[in-house]
Amino acid sequence: MTRTELKELTLFARELAIGAGGILRKGFNRALRVQYKGRIDPVTEYDLKAEQYITGKIERRYPHHAILAEEGSAVGETSDYLWVIDPLDGTVNFAHGFPVYCVSIALQYKGESVVGAVYDPERTELFWASKGAKAYMNGRTINVSTESKLERALLATGFAYDIATARKNNLGLFARMAKKAQGIRRPGSAAIDLCWLACGRIDGFWELKLHPWDTAAAKLIVEAAGGEISRLTGDPYTIFDPDLLASNGRVHQAMRKVLGRRK
């Protein structure tokens, strides 16, 4: 992939994220048709509208690219290029009028994320990064925080939709970490959590049972901002792994110790 192609793809991903975010913003705080994929796992018509907008644009411009999207869109059987899309990360928040949600768009090339864009319509904040470059928010370079003490760190986490029935539900880990960190927040959007880590608003994040579209874009942004990402075990993380530990790098080992995993 040439630098020119990477630049064009990055600009395209940013345009897609902003365009889809505009669709979501029009539907926010309005009466919604909400369906459920599980007991507490909703999908609204705006999830679908935003996804159709994104996939339609990709299909027209890059018809031979493959697509993996949360609400089921799939295009292309085999390709070196794979778009990984969450048209609305934070659907529960969106459905309740709680203003924390975003669009997440990533492009993988030969199995590696090379472009990531996350757009927060409520704060009009666009985060992005591309392979080998810095991370940005609205054109400004961003970096992770410099906090090195866990007791002074502000963290974020989330809980899977099967929290009521699953044995591994993050509640025990949350309780342990709450006793060690300065504070823990649960905004309800993994992509936003990770972008806020990238720009220094929080110092660390962990979660279980994630999906590729939850982290594909934000992982690249965090790493470009100087952050560290692994699995809870300390092993290397890929977007197809279910658990993630992310930090500014300075509190990573302390977080992993509290989470009580091997290695």
Model pLDDT for residues 141-154, shown as the tens digit of each residue: 999 999 999 999 99
Residue 31: its pLDDT value, please? Answer: 57
State residue 64 phi and psi, 5-degree precision.
-95, 5
Which CATH entry fits the domain spanning 3-142: 3.40.50.410, 3.10.20.440, 3.30.540.10, 3.20.20.70? 3.30.540.10
**Among 38-47, 87-96, 179-188, whose mean pLDDT is lowest?**
38-47
Q: Which amino acid would we find at residue 8? A: E
Where are the domains positioned within the chain? 3-142, 150-259
Residue 163: its pLDDT value, please? Answer: 65
Q: How confident is the model at residue 256 (pLDDT cuts 50, 70, 90)?
A: very high
**Among 8-12, 69-73, 241-245, whose mean pLDDT is lowest?**
69-73
CATH class of 150-259: alpha beta
Is the per-residue pLDDT at 230 higher than 60? yes
Is the per-residue pLDDT at 262 higher than 50? no
Q: Which amino acid would we find at residue 115? A: V
Model pLDDT for residues 115-137, shown as the tens digit of each residue: 999 999 999 999 999 999 999 99
Model pLDDT for residues 172-216, shown as the tens digit of each residue: 899 999 999 999 999 999 999 999 999 999 999 999 999 999 999
State residue 40 phi and psi, 5-degree precision.
-130, 30
Give yes or no for a contact between 243 and 209, defined as CB atoms under 8 angstroms apart.
Answer: yes
Give yes or no for a contact between 217 and 114, defined as CB atoms under 8 angstroms apart.
Answer: no
Is the per-residue pLDDT at 76 higher than 70? no
Residue 38: its pLDDT value, please? Answer: 47
Pick the residue with more confidence: 30 or 195? 195
